[in-house]
Amino acid sequence: MPTPPPSAPAHRRPRTTSTTAPAEGRRVAPLDGLRGLAVLGVLFFHAGHLGGGFLGVDLFFVLSGFLITGLLLKEVRARGGRVDLVAFWGRRARRLLPALAVTLAGTLLLLWSFGPPSLLRYALDDAPWVAANLANWHFIADQVGYWNSADTRVFGHLWSLSVEEQFYLLWPVLLGLVARGPKADRRVAGVAAVGAALSLALMLALTVPADTTRVYEGTDTRAFSLLLGALMATAPATRLVARMSPRATGWTSTLLTCAIGAYWVVADGQNAPSLFQGGLFLHALAAAVLIACLARTSHSAVGRVLSLPPLRWFGLISYSLYLWHWPVYLLLGEERLGMSGWGRTAVLLAVSTAAAWLSKVLVEDPVRFRAPWARGRTGAVALLCGLAALAALWTCIPEPRLGVGTVDPGLLVPGEG
């Protein structure tokens, strides 16, 4: 929809007229709220209160694909078809790695000091793979079942971060190759659509009902969520959304939100085979269209709800909250806290939120926005020093040995994680 000429009455101008995805630096309030809703869904799922809350991870994937692709396409247009890969990866490193490094180091120290030996042993085994952003393939290779072994792996939730990091590594390169010359957006949209279809086909072909960890955590079989988000950030998709009236966009947002919410209520992980027979794909597609509608018309009824300050605040701390919540959940078990149910959940949410807030204000924001040394060559040196420090800590912590009579939780059948 073209922007009205300057002489048009102010009250007739739509509030959002851009036909491109929002770039970094321009915050769309409902998308922050949607991110907050996604992380709260995961937290309540891991606390045992929302069977489909794990689908919040898919919302993160779709949001990431949408926002990152919008940023890359804006750069392509500004730089004549080129992407500065080093600058892009530098921004991603400043955004993600400091908080991840602090979480890894802090969790290992807490486990060494207070945690059960079995959790520490698995954490030491998994930590290098998490640092290398290959945790998902490590868990797949070790046949660590996501749905029945998560309670033994304090870093088990970080498989999804590895999927995103691998996407950030490969997608900008591919986009930079196809986004040159005329009709670049069409080619990017075509690649995203074809890639999403191939990813779905792989999920359908590789699904084994007895254990869906391979297709649930595999980068290739989960790429469709990120690519559907990427597709909705391209000009062909945003133009389609722009042709809708604000009323139609609002109703579409409402219907999609209700459908997604209903799916979160009825979905049941490993016990819902339909998830891996197209259900996850349809959920991601609905989320992608919803995100595009919210980015286009943020003042709809759904947009106003998602723009509420509490949801936005959780969205702003969602990354650190996702990093810290699972270690907190495992360290503060029912026996240690002496409580269960909603009482324990309240404590877990409070502790996780406090850790996330401290991480954001003391680590994330200073490094991302106020640290000149974190850029360029000094940033690369700081990254290498950080990795060296993590490696030294990992080396110094002795691997615990399970004593005679000690029950290894990995041999038990834990609840869903």
Q: How far apart, in Å, are the Cα atoms of 99 and each of 93, 223, 395, 413? A: 10, 24, 21, 31
pLDDT the model gives residue 70: 94
What confidence tier does 54 reach under pLDDT thresholds 50, 70, 90?
very high
Each residue's pLDDT tens digit, 249-296: 999 999 999 999 999 998 877 677 789 999 999 999 999 999 999 998
SS3 51: coil
Each residue's pLDDT tens digit, 7-35: 334 443 334 334 445 544 467 899 999 99
Place of tokens 């000429």: 5
- Asked whether residue 279 is assigned to any structural domain, the reply reads yes
- Asked whether residue 405 is assigned to any structural domain, the reply reads no
pLDDT the model gives residue 21: 52
Tell me if 403 sits within 8 A of 139, measured CB to CB.
Answer: no
Separation of alpha carbons 134 and 284, rounded Å: 23
Place of tokens 């180091």: 105
How many whole angstroms from its chain centre is CA 174?
21
pLDDT the model gives residue 270: 67
pLDDT the model gives residue 17: 39
Nearest to 195 by CA among 232, 231, 165, 168: 231
- Asked whether residue 409 is assigned to any structural domain, the reply reads no
Task: Tell me the mean pLDDT in the region 146-174.
Answer: 89
Tell me if 401 sits within 8 A of 117, measured CB to CB.
Answer: yes
User: CA 328, 331, 335, 340: dihedral to nearest 10 degrees?
Assistant: 10
Separation of alpha carbons 330 and 417, rounded Å: 10
Identity of residue 56: G
What confidence tier does 179 reach under pLDDT thresholds 50, 70, 90?
confident
What confidence tier does 135 reach under pLDDT thresholds 50, 70, 90?
very high
Task: Tell me the mean pLDDT in the region 319-345.
Answer: 92
Task: Tell me the mean pLDDT in the region 69-88.
Answer: 90
Nearest to 179 by CA among 191, 169, 167: 191
pLDDT the model gives residue 13: 39
Mean pLDDT over each residue of the chain, to the nearest integer: 87
- The residue with greater pLDDT, 24 or 60, is 60
- Asked whether residue 15 is assigned to any structural domain, the reply reads no
pLDDT the model gives residue 272: 73
With residues binned 3-state (H G I as helix, E B as strand, rest as coil), the percentages for the chain, rounded to 5, are: 75, 0, 25
Question: pTM for this one?
Answer: 0.88
- Asked whether residue 164 is assigned to any structural domain, the reply reads yes
Each residue's pLDDT tens digit, 195-221: 999 999 999 999 887 778 899 999 999
Q: In terms of C-beta density within 10 A (0-12 exposed, 13-18 middle, 19 or more buried), how is residue 15 classed?
A: exposed
Q: Give Dmax over CA atoms of the chain in angstroms.
A: 83
Phi, psi for residue 306 in degrees, rounded to 5: -70, -20
Token reading at 105: 């180091």
Each residue's pLDDT tens digit, 227-255: 999 999 999 999 999 999 999 999 999 99
Domain that holds residue 211: 29-398
- Asked whether residue 392 is assigned to any structural domain, the reply reads yes
Task: Tell me the mean pLDDT in the region 160-184.
Answer: 92
Task: Tell me the mean pLDDT in the region 333-341.
Answer: 86
pLDDT the model gives residue 229: 97
How many whole angstroms from its chain centre is CA 106?
21
What confidence tier does 77 reach under pLDDT thresholds 50, 70, 90?
confident
What confidence tier does 105 reach under pLDDT thresholds 50, 70, 90?
very high
Token reading at 175: 């986009």
> With pLDDT > 70 as the criterion, what percentage of the chain qualifies?
89
Least-confidence region, from 126-130, 185-189, 218-222, 266-270: 266-270
- H runs (alpha helix) in 297-375: 301-306, 309-316, 318-331, 334-337, 341-359, 365-369
Render the burial of 188-227: b for 16+ CB within 10 Å, e for the rest: bbebbbebbeebbebbeeebeeeebbbbbbbbbbbbbbbb
Residue 412 reports pLDDT greater than 80: no
- Asked whether residue 210 is assigned to any structural domain, the reply reads yes
Task: Tell me the mean pLDDT in the region 319-338.
Answer: 92
> With pLDDT > 90 as the criterion, what percentage of the chain qualifies?
66
Separation of alpha carbons 290 and 32, rounded Å: 13
Task: Tell me the mean pLDDT in the region 79-86.
Answer: 87
Domain count along the chain? 1
Long-range contacts of 392-397 (CB under 8 A, 24+ apart): 393/105, 393/108, 393/109, 394/108, 394/124, 394/127, 394/128, 397/108, 397/112, 397/120, 397/124
Nearest to 230 by CA among 177, 265, 194: 194
Identity of residue 354: A
Token reading at 145: 């079942």
- Asked whether residue 120 is assigned to any structural domain, the reply reads yes
Q: Which residues, at least 6 apart from 134, have a Cβ–Cβ distance to it below 8 Å? A: 162
Q: How far apart, in Å, are the Cα atoms of 193 and each of 51, 249, 349? A: 30, 22, 38
Task: Tell me the mean pLDDT in the region 97-119.
Answer: 94
Each residue's pLDDT tens digit, 107-117: 999 999 988 99
